[in-house]
Structures are given as C-alpha cells and as structure tokens.
Amino acid sequence: MKSQAGLNSFKISVKEWSAKTNAIGLIAKAGRYGGTYAHKDIAFEFGSWINPTFKLYLIKEFQRLKEIESNTHYLEWSFRRSLAATNYRIHTDAIKEKLIPWEDTPQKSDVYIYAEEADLINLALFGLTAKQWREQYIKETSECNTIRDSADTHRLIVLSNLENLNAVWIRQGVGQKENI
C-alpha cells in the first residue's frame, strides 16, 4: 500500500483508513443504518476538497459571521460609551459652576478638582480610583484603557446615576464627606 500512496490511482476506503490509522473522528458503518460519519472539521475539510463551490461557501459564510460579530461588538461598545457619557456633562458642568474658582484662564489645579470628583464616584462604585485601577489592571494590549471602559452595562447605569446625584449635591453645596 505504501508504494501506491503517491499514485493518482491510489484509493483507500474510510473503513480501511480507520482500521490502519486508528483514526478518531471518522467512522464507517455498513448495514441498514450505516454510512460514513465524520467530525464536523473533517467533514468541512473533505467537502472543501471535493467541491470548490462548497469551499467558497464556507469562506464567505465565515467572513459574514465575523462581520456580524465585529458589528455586534462595536454596537455594544458604542452603547456602553454613550451610557457612560450620559450624565458626565451634567456632572462636569456642576463642578465647573460650583467648585472651580472663577477665572479667565483655567488653572492646572482645576484638572485635579474634576479628577477628585470622578475618583469619589470611582471609589463608591469600583472601590478604586482611576489611578489605582490603571496600576492594577492596565496592560499594553488591553482593550479597556479606563476603569469606565472596563465596566459592564449595569455598573455604567449606576455610574450615570451617581454622576447625576453628585451633580445635584455639588449644586446644593454638599461636601465630599457628606456625598460619600
């Protein structure tokens, strides 16, 4: 049989193949309910080898499914980002109106006031400041670059509500200790 293996005329049945190679994932049964059965990966490969149209169909179907998967991932990410931004502007406007001293030009310390208020919410919701989260979880290959990017939808809803509440409390003159 080895001497015939390279010839175009060489043939081997599934039953012979299974017996000689102890193949797994490929079975041939004779009889009334017999037939040839193969693991789906083997069946796809065999079908692709026999029929180029089938192979093209598999490739196109795979590409279509990957496109759907990519679009779904993007839509979910876009929804989560929109949710995270819902009350962000309300929150930052309240900080700007009530906590930042009025001056013609923004000061470097103004950034820290925004960060302190954001970290107040981060601590309440995540138990970490943004800096602590980055030090613990950020990786160069990570898709999540911020603590809020890593949050699930439920936490983002809570985050949005906390930003809104904090904005109300800031406008009412409630201090950080009371907010906590």
Same structural domain, 16 and 96: no
What is the mean pLDDT of the segment spanning 108-113? Answer: 71
Same structural domain, 42 and 91: no
68 located within any domain:
no
66 located within any domain:
no
pLDDT reported for residue 40: 92
69 located within any domain:
no
Token pair of 112, please?
Answer: 């820290």
Same structural domain, 37 and 105: no
Highest-pLDDT range among 42-51, 70-79, 81-90, 102-111: 42-51
Same structural domain, 22 and 100: no
65 located within any domain:
no
123 located within any domain:
yes
How far CA 37 is from CA of 49, 55, 110, in Å, comes to 17, 19, 70
When mean pLDDT is compared across 58-67, 108-117, 146-155, the lowest value belongs to 108-117
Same structural domain, 103 and 161: yes
The Cα–Cα gap between 80 and 123 comes to: 20
Cβ 126 vs Cβ 89: under 8 Å: no
Which H/E stretch holds residue 37? strand 35-38
160 located within any domain:
yes
**What is the average pLDDT value for the chain, to the nearest integer?**
82
Same structural domain, 149 and 100: yes
Cβ 97 vs Cβ 171: under 8 Å: yes
The Cα–Cα gap between 126 and 154 comes to: 12
Number of domains in the chain: 2
Q: DSSP alpha helices (H): ranges in 37-152?
A: 40-50, 52-85, 88-98, 108-126, 130-137
What is the mean pLDDT of the segment spanning 175-179? Answer: 79
Band the pLDDT of 139: cuts 50, 70, 90: low
- Position 180: which residue type? I
Q: 3-class SS at 27?
A: strand
Cβ 159 vs Cβ 148: under 8 Å: yes
Same structural domain, 44 and 93: no
Q: Which domain holds residue 91?
A: 86-179
Same structural domain, 118 and 173: yes
pLDDT at 90 over 60: yes
Summarize pLDDT for 12-51 with one digit per residue, the tens: 888 888 888 888 888 888 889 888 888 999 889 888 988 9
62 located within any domain:
no
Same structural domain, 27 and 93: no
pLDDT reported for residue 55: 93
When mean pLDDT is compared across 28-37, 40-49, 52-61, 137-146, the lowest value belongs to 137-146
Which H/E stretch holds residue 168? helix 153-171
Highest-pLDDT range among 54-58, 67-71, 84-88: 54-58
Same structural domain, 169 and 95: yes
75 located within any domain:
no
pLDDT at 158 over 60: yes
Of residues 162 and 111, the one with the higher pLDDT is 162
How far CA 140 is from CA of 83, 99, 130, 151, 160, in Å, comes to 25, 35, 16, 18, 27
Q: Which residue reads 């779904």 in tokens?
A: 72
